[in-house]
Amino acid sequence: MLEYIKGPATELTPTYTVIEAGNIGYMLNISLATFEDIQRSTGEIKLLIHEVIREDAHVLYGFFTSQEREMFRLLIGVSGVGPNTAILILSSMPVTGLESVINSGDHNTLKNVKGIGTKTAQRIIVDLRDKIKPTDDTLSLQSNSSGSFGEVYEEALAALTALGFVRQQSQKVLKRIFDADPAVKVETAIKKALSMM
């Protein structure tokens, strides 16, 4: 399973990008949010990957943040929502906005996305509402996680979720740790978080 790709973007459109790595160009389907993040970046780009293997093709989807990739994976887990529809949804609103829509049960906003009908919008809300419980802390954390906290925070969060801890709980604990010591190393952050869970 591919995890991420790193290299210069040799092509960039609002729907896909080509990243060169090891003298090979990889085409990745992207959302508008990731497109805008890439536009603001200089030099090498690192995109997280979700790979979809079909009988007739291997399709790569690229994401600038782990939050966007996680939301994509939640969306494609809903019956009737395919990868391209999930990308359309993520192109229509930011992850935090989508979380608020799901949490508030606002299926009318989801219906405004091309290809999403009433039943699919309601199914997304029913299926994902229990998996997404945004609070003021997690919403502010999502906006900070790839900014002020950076890759160390992301690595610690990924490790905790891989160990089976709930993402929202892990975010709250890590936020306390990083607020107290923004320069904490990833190993120390994980150890402290494990003792606080």
Pick from 1, 2, 41, 3: nearest CA to 17: 41
Cα–Cα distance measured from residue 51 to residue 72, given in angstroms and rounded to the nearest whole number: 12
Q: What is the overall mean pLDDT for the chain?
A: 84
pLDDT computed for residue 140 by the predictor: 44
Q: Any residues with CB less than 8 A from the CB of 124 and at least 6 apart, and which?
A: 75, 78, 81, 102, 107, 110, 116
Q: What is the pLDDT of residue 107?
A: 86
Q: Residue 19: pLDDT band by 50, 70, 90 thresholds?
A: very high
Rounded Cα–Cα distance for residues 10 and 19 (Å):
6
For the full predicted model, state whether its pTM sits above 0.85.
Answer: no
Tens digit of each residue's pLDDT (9 = 90 or more) over 70-113? 999 999 999 989 999 999 999 988 888 898 889 888 888 888 88
